[in-house]
Amino acid sequence: MAAQTGSQAVERASALLGLIVESGAPRTFSSLVDELGLAKSTTSRLLQALERSRLVYRDRTGAFRPGALFSLHAARPSALHDLSELARPTMEHLSELSRETVNLAVPRGGQLVSIDQVDSCYLVGATNWVGVDVPAHCTASGKVLYAYGALPRPTGQLERRTAHSPVDRAQLEHALVEVRRRGWAASLDELEIGLTAVAAPVRTVDGSVVAAVSVSGPTSRINDYGITRLGDVLVAELRGLSALLGHQPGRKEGFA
């Protein structure tokens, strides 16, 4: 189906592993067989290989569960289970896709702050955002956090950073409606002329939004990539990240 080149056996085995690990509950052999649609024999062999390698094991009932290697990783004191550690792989991936700067932002004290960043590989556009507080209303991540109630609405005057900054409350609210509709937010030249960002939400187990991930770069390059396309990619990738946080994709995606 989605094989690029090369190792089909490994990919199939990995798919099995994925199913076993992702669904917290023990997976039965037959459920795996017809979920992947492989022959019983093939499935059996692959699972045996995984079992030999201690990547899965069969519990008492004969169902498959994540094996010792997973426990090992989980037990590592160094395996920071915090957000930025979890998000790293996804962010690296997004960085490769877009080749632009990727940021992970969370609300802090009524503003938003980036807690992790993967730099663009271009020279232009690789400023550091980690730790610097920026006005949320003119960033893509900020809009996401506003839209889904992760950040309380700003009080007082909305700062005008550029001619494009939204300073009118009604205008902002209108934008937020749009964000919720599409699932992602954009900010074109609103914080700084020539700087565009696209962001989407990261949800936790109860469906609430806890962070936003943004991709940002020169307006021209982002436009080349396509804002909508980028938004959709972000949403898709972050759905995966949300799953890591325990968010069940099926569930209501309410906004606080």
Partner DNA sequence: AACTCGGGTTCCATAATGTGAAACTTTGGA
Partner DNA sequence: TCCAAAGTTTCACATTATGGAACCCGAGTT
Exposure class string for 60-79: b at 16+ Cβ within 10 A, else e: eeebbbbbeebeeeeeeeee
Among the listed residues 59, 109, 155, 224, the single contact to a copy of itself using CB under 8 A: 59
188-247: which residues touch a copy of itself (CB under 8 A)? 205, 240-241, 243-246
Phi, psi of 4 (to 5 degrees): -80, -60
Which range binds DNA by CB under 7 A, 39-47, 131-139, 152-160, 211-219?
39-47
Any alpha helices (H) in 53-82, and if so which ranges? 68-75
With binding defined as CB under 7 A, does residue 14 bind DNA?
Answer: no
Q: Which two tokens stand for residue 237?
A: 């990738």
Report whether 15 contacts 52 (CB < 8 A): no
Min separation Cβ 59 and a copy of itself, Å: 7
**Residue 188, beta-bridge partner list:** 196
Residue 146: how many other CB atoms lie within 10 Å: 25
Residue 232: how many other CB atoms lie within 10 Å: 16
Rounded Cα distance between 31 and 14, Å, is 16
> Could you give the angle at the alpha carbon of 13 between the alpha carbons of 11 and 19, nearest 5°?
105
Among the listed residues 37, 61, 78, 170, the single contact to a copy of itself using CB under 8 A: 78
With binding defined as CB under 7 A, does residue 220 bind DNA?
Answer: no
Among the listed residues 48, 171, 223, 248, the single contact to DNA using CB under 7 A: 48
Judged by CB under 7 A, how many residues of this single chain contact DNA?
Answer: 21
For residue 154, what is the DSSP state? P
Among the listed residues 2, 41, 75, 163, the single contact to DNA using CB under 7 A: 41
Among the listed residues 32, 33, 46, 188, the single contact to a copy of itself using CB under 8 A: 46
Binding mask 3-32 for a copy of itself (x = CB under 8 A): -x-xx-xxx-xxx-xx--xx-x--------
Residue 86: how many other CB atoms lie within 10 Å: 17
Among the listed residues 34, 39, 40, 48, the single contact to a copy of itself using CB under 8 A: 48
Judged by CB under 8 A, how many residues of this single chain contact a copy of itself?
Answer: 58
Residue 213's closest CA among 104, 88, 91? 104
- Positions that interact with DNA (CB under 7 A): 6-10, 12, 28-30, 33, 38-42, 44-48, 62
Binding site for a copy of itself (CB under 8 A): 4, 6-7, 9-11, 13-15, 17-18, 21-22, 24, 45-46, 48-50, 52-55, 57-60, 65-79, 81, 85-86, 88-90, 92-93, 118, 205, 240-241, 243-246
